[in-house]
Amino acid sequence: MIIIGEKINGTIPSVKKAIEARDEDFIRGLAIKQAEAGADFIDVCASTAPEAETETLLWLMDIVQDVTDTPLCIDSPNARAIERVIHHAKRPGLINSISLEGDKCEVIFPLMQNSGWQTIALTCNNAGIPKDVQTRVDIAKEIIEKAEDYGIAPDRIHMDPLVIALSADNQSLLNFAETTRKIKELYPTINVTSGLSNISFGMPLRKVVNQNFLTLAVFAGMNSAIMDPLDRDLMAALLAAEALLGQDQYCRKFANAYRKNKIGPLRIAE
């Protein structure tokens, strides 16, 4: 599983407060903890007013890159904000995100040419998020065709079939899983990702819902996720799912994570 650490996001109240106060220590701590927990990318999302976004992203990028070599996931709904900051990254990472909305592909794909950059691609367009599976698959195909025009292979794309809150659509997981399977059948090397905590919005016991969604989504073929690597139970559910699906020979990853006290209830040495 490719883990995209979600903790440095201005929509989170504590992070919003740290951004407003320019609290470098707080952001630095989140970056270090996520890297140590096994994040493959660290998401940085300003979620500020548009006029402050570029400066805030650069500030976040500097802090994270000063304390870890873990690649960045540059997160903005504004493709031109990403265009303004991407060259500030010390190494290629992940762009979050593109879709068929507006000219996002036309702005982002040239930035990815002849580089190691990858991107998250949302299966939506100017009409919004499709309700049916086939339209999402058709959007995925169109995005991949556009990427191929720039020499970008499917394995550099993390396709997001989009997770609708279960409280709003009780078919959300089923549609996500079916879309995932169909996309993987067409493009076996593509990555499939999600903002998995969206599934539990408005629900009680959100962590339980998230854990079960993660397990079922991995079974459907999801191999990437924007998630909280500091959630020990969520990480345990992920490693258990991988072991059950034959992706962890002799359960070594699961056993090692337990021995290193990285999953499950925190064990205090006596």
Q: Which of 114, 115, 53, 44 is nearest to 80 (CA)?
A: 53
Whether this prediction's pTM lies above 0.95 is answered by yes
The 8 Å CB, 24+ separation contacts for 21-26 are 22/59, 24/63
> What pLDDT sits at residue 268?
82
Output the 3-class SS for 131-169.
CCHHHHHHHHHHHHHHHHHCCCCHHHEEEECCCCCCCCC
**Helices 13-21 and 50-67: angle between axes, nearest 10 degrees:** 90
Predicted pLDDT of residue 91 = 98
pLDDT confidence of residue 204: 98
Q: What is the mean pLDDT of residues 9-37?
A: 98
Query: Does domain 2-259 sit in CATH 3.20.20.20?
Result: yes
**What is the pLDDT, as a whole number, of residue 144?**
99
Of 79, 22, 27, residue with least CA distance to 55: 22
3-state secondary structure of 262: coil
How many other C-beta atoms lie within 10 A of the C-beta of residue 14?
A: 11
User: What is the β-pairing status of strands 2-9 and 118-125?
Assistant: unpaired
Average pLDDT rounded to a whole number, residues 3-10 = 98
